[in-house]
Amino acid sequence: MIPFLEISHKNIVKTWLLRIIFDHVNLKGEDPTARGLESSYRCYKDYGSYYTDGIAENIFQNNLYNSVTYYNGIPIYDWNTLEEIAQSTVKGWMNSPGHRKNILTPNSAHFTYHPYLFQVFL
């Protein structure tokens, strides 16, 4: 994994968990590109006739279970399988124009995944 991505993942997930925020922009107003620059990582690609500069990310808040039933006050979860979570996550991204564009852009060089279901495109 690219060092910036490891640091960025840990920091943004901490932000999500500690501050109850789930967004592309953190509480300091930083988007994925700004977080990369803060970690000394710039994603600039020169293709001759044009260039790209920046980082895109896909995040998805998914359900780990379908339902919960209580028996004598004890919760019993109907857990989704990893396959079900993966399928519903990708389906959600593909049904969102911006997220779909990130996935289908041929110039994306790196993809990384995190257990909290986020995808970074460099």
CB 54 within 8 Å of CB 77:
no
| Residue 14 pLDDT > 80 | no
pLDDT tens for each residue of 74-87? 999 999 998 898 88
- Please state the pTM of the whole predicted model: 0.64
Gap between the Cα atoms of 121 and 12, Å rounded: 15
